[in-house]
Amino acid sequence: MTVWSSKLEDDLASLLKDWLKHQGRTQSDLRRSLRATSTRMPALMEVLERDHRLGGMPRVAARLCAIEAEWASSDGEGTAASATRKMANLDPDPFGQLDLLLQEIRDDCAS
């Protein structure tokens, strides 16, 4: 199992920022979904580190995939991402790129 480290945390924070931008979401949206105490990145990371302790990176990736699916199913509520997709007339993939991350993590764990 991958050990939680400051490098892993930095990489994950970078991934989250890119993911949120791609989804048209904010750290506040992620805070609500994670039920974190704050919108600040350290508070978000605290929740993900707890998940990591309980199940490693596969659990973290699965949690983020579930959040992305939740967002995709609730996009009818008028989020910026929903409006952008409607204007572009796109059918969103409910798991985006997180399913690829989950598969890569599973492949690494199997090796």
Q: What are the structure tokens assigned to 62, written together?
A: 């699965």
pLDDT tens, 75-90?
Answer: 765 455 544 544 444 4
Place of tokens 């090796």: 111
Q: CA-CA distance, 17 to 74, in Å (whole number)?
A: 20
CB 64 within 8 A of CB 98: yes
pLDDT of residue 93: 54
- For residue 39, the Cα-to-chain-centroid distance in whole angstroms is 14
pLDDT tens, 59-77?
Answer: 999 999 999 999 999 876 5
The pTM of the full predicted model, rounded to 2 decimals, is 0.67
User: pLDDT per position in the chain (111 positions), as tens?
Assistant: 679 999 999 999 999 999 999 999 999 999 999 999 999 999 999 999 999 999 999 999 999 999 999 999 987 654 555 445 444 444 455 556 677 777 777 777 776
What 8-state DSSP symbol labels residue 37?
Answer: S
